[in-house]
Structure 1
Amino acid sequence: MRQYLKNIVEFNDNTKSRIFAYFIQILILVSIISFSFETVPDLKPETRKLLRIIEVFCVLVFSIEYILRIYVADNRRRFIFSFFGLIDVLAILPFYLSIGIDLRSLRALRFLRLFRILKLMRYNRAIKHFSKAIMLAKEEILLFLFVTLILIYFSAVGIYYFENAAQPEHFSSIFDSLWWAIITLTTVGYGDVYPITVGGRIFTFFILMIGLGIVAIPTGIISSALTKSVDTKDEN
């Protein structure tokens, strides 16, 4: 029985296993959609009752799935504390913690329900390729993030010295200047904070040029890693 259930729950090489995987994926999407509808104001009591029924059904299925995965796991302790094991717990934990409790005082628990969407990583082949690509390029990505943080701080310091005297209300400190540095380096540019001095505008031009590269670099890193991931699968 254990091996039979393992073939359905863990593997994806037979009809029953694929049906199980598709069923869980559909429930994840239904759960996320119902969660979104719950935030709509002035819902009718009947609608809220229906959403509650959907939530209870989804949590029941996810709980059974989690128990089955523990049952069929070769190393149960390792599974419980693995990435997917923790995601499975976080997907159902808010429901059980909120039983008999007014969620208005524990809204953070509702946020944890978003972790259900990460459960799709176990079933979706494209997401598996993406997660594998992230792992292949993790050193390059960490290096890029470290360099980006340095550039953000450098930009904040630079614009502070250029604009502090002219706009003390916006650039009163390096910490206040960090907001400008982030939206400029990421090329978002909300326009709520911008330089007015000649030096500040020239400095901003160079930061924008650097920002264009910052946006492009991780795209190249991840696309290269995705190519390696797909090539490795084809070779196997």
Structure 2
Amino acid sequence: MKNYLKNLVEPNNSKRSKRFAFFIQFLIILSVITFSIETLPDLKPQTRVVLNAIEAFCVVIFTFEYVSRIFVADNKPKFIFSFFGIIDLLAILPFYLSFGIDLRSLRLLRMFRLFRLFKLVRYNKAMKHFAQAMIAAKEQIILFMIITLMLIYFAAVGIYYFENEAQPEHFTSVFDSLWWSIVTLTTVGYGDVYPITVGGRIFTFFILLIGLGIVAIPTGIISSSLTKAVEPSSEEE
């Protein structure tokens, strides 16, 4: 039984495993579509019954998959606390919590169903390469995020001192200035808050230049790691 389940749930070249993988992927997409349909207003009661039935069916299959993977795992704790183990649990957890908690009052829990999308990474080679690239570049990404947070704070402090007296309603404190700092460094520029002093505009000019680099740097890091992740697979083929 253990070998049968292992050959079924773990991706391999057997037809049984491939069919099961396609079936799981189909259910993931189906469950995401039903989740989106549930947000439509004025749905008929019959429609909600059908959506709930689809959701229950998907959860039953996902639960079977999750329990089976734990059963066939050589190192069960390692799988349970692995990335895919946590994703598999989060994919089914909201359904079972709904029996004891009113999800209408805890809408955030329903969003955990979207974690099912991450289950697709297990079955898609391109997504696997991307996940490997993210893991390989995690140190650079963490360092980049720390530097970015420091720059955001620096920009917030700088614009506060330039604009506080001119626009006390928008730049009341450094904390209020953080919003401007974030949208400026990410080059979004909503235009709801902007500098009006000469010093503030000059400061903003340099912050925008830094922002262009902030957008480009992670792209280069991930692209480099993705290339390294794809190369071994290409050589094997």
Write the letter of the residue equivalent to 2:110: R
**Count of residue pairs the alignment pairs up:** 236
Give a deviation string over 1:169-219, Cα, whole Å, max 9, x none: 000111100000000000001110000111111111111111011101100
Partner of 2:180: 180
- Structure 1: 5+ residue runs without aligned partners? none
Separation (CA, whole Å) in 2 of partners of 1:106 and 1:177: 31
- Name the Cα RMSD after superposition: 1.2
| Aligned 1:19-98 pairs, distance under 5 A | 19-98=19-98
Write the letter of the residue equivalent to 1:185: L
Partner of 1:110: 110
Write the letter of the residue equivalent to 1:153: Y
2:11–2:21 CA contact under 8 A, matched in 1: no
Separation (CA, whole Å) in 1 of partners of 2:12 and 2:42: 43
Partner of 2:10: 10
Separation (CA, whole Å) in 1 of partners of 2:11 and 2:127: 17
Deviates more, 1:196-205 or 1:69-78: 69-78
Give a deviation string over 1:34-92, Cα, whole Å, max 9, x none: 11111111111111111111101100110111111112111222222222111111111
Alpha-carbon shift at residue 115 of structure 1 (Å): 1.2
TM-score, with normalisation over the residues of structure 1?
0.96
TM-score, with normalisation over the residues of structure 2?
0.96
Partner of 1:136: 136
1:151 equivalent to 2:151? Answer yes
Partner of 1:225: 225
Moved over 4 A (4+): none
2:11–2:123 CA contact under 8 A, matched in 1: no
| Aligned 1:156-175 pairs, distance under 5 A | 156-175=156-175
Deviates more, 1:225-234 or 1:103-112: 103-112
Separation (CA, whole Å) in 2 of partners of 1:164 and 1:11: 59
Identity of aligned residues (%): 70
